[in-house]
Amino acid sequence: MEDRPGFRECEHQSDCWERFYLEHGRPWRGIGNVTLNIEPGSKVLDIGCGNGKTVAALIRMGMDATGLDFSPSAVNRCISAFGDKAKFSVAECENMPFPDGYFDAVTAVHILEHLNDTQLRDTVGEIFRVLVPGGLVFVRSFAVGDMRSEGKDRNTRGNGIEYRYYTENDMKIIFGKFDAISIERKDETMRFGAVRVKTECLFRRPAGNSGEF
């Protein structure tokens, strides 16, 4: 990890995130948006749900939403905020406590950029496992060139949380077992001139593939 002003080292990334949620009651405001062309009432899992911004979008869309996060503080805040409008679970995204083929769709919004190579491989494998054949996964992640990247493909921020930055081709490789529906780079210029860069992707688990990832 880099030596940065204000950086307080964590033994594990989960410690950094738990401290982050303890110190920031609601770090992300508003309701998120995701692209999922599926019927209301479909079972959708949001991995790395944080304080529930994406879950709020799924509820608004009429989905049967479940949020998962490894931070107990984040999950407790979600339970307090949403009550019985959604279900929540404390668990690692690379070892999810759900049966095979349980969800119609999965959302992964700004979570994959915080995983190391092993966690990333295992998480994508778990997404494949918990999806029904033909199920969808929506991914949003910071991309190479984002204002946070400082010209690097990975770095550690002042709060000790690690970030990675992916290209569109990276996403094709990471989700190579899935059918790609769309992979887009999105640039957003902020009012102070810096540019946020994201990749937004929609993949489908092959309908006829019921084997191992």
Amino acid symbol at 199: T
Q: Measure CA 41 to chain center.
A: 21
Domains of the chain in sequence order: 13-204 (3.40.50.150)
Place of tokens 């489908």: 204
Q: What is the pLDDT of residue 8?
A: 44
Burial 80-95 (b: 16+ CB within 10 A, else e): eebeeebbbeeebbbe
Residue 96: the pLDDT is 97
Q: Which amino acid is at 195?
A: V
pTM above 0.95, yes or no: no
pLDDT of 1? 30
pLDDT 10s digit of each residue in the chain, 213 long? 333 333 345 556 666 756 766 666 555 555 678 889 999 999 999 999 888 889 999 999 999 999 999 888 889 888 999 999 999 999 999 999 999 999 999 999 999 988 889 999 999 999 999 999 999 999 999 888 776 766 666 655 545 668 888 889 999 999 999 999 999 998 887 777 777 888 999 999 998 765 567
HSE, CB side, 13 Å, CA atoms: give it for residue 211.
Answer: 5
Scored b (16 or more CB within 10 A) or e, 168-187 reads eebbeebbebbeeeebeeee
Which H helix or E strand runs over 21?
A: helix 13-23
**pLDDT computed for residue 66 by the predictor:** 98
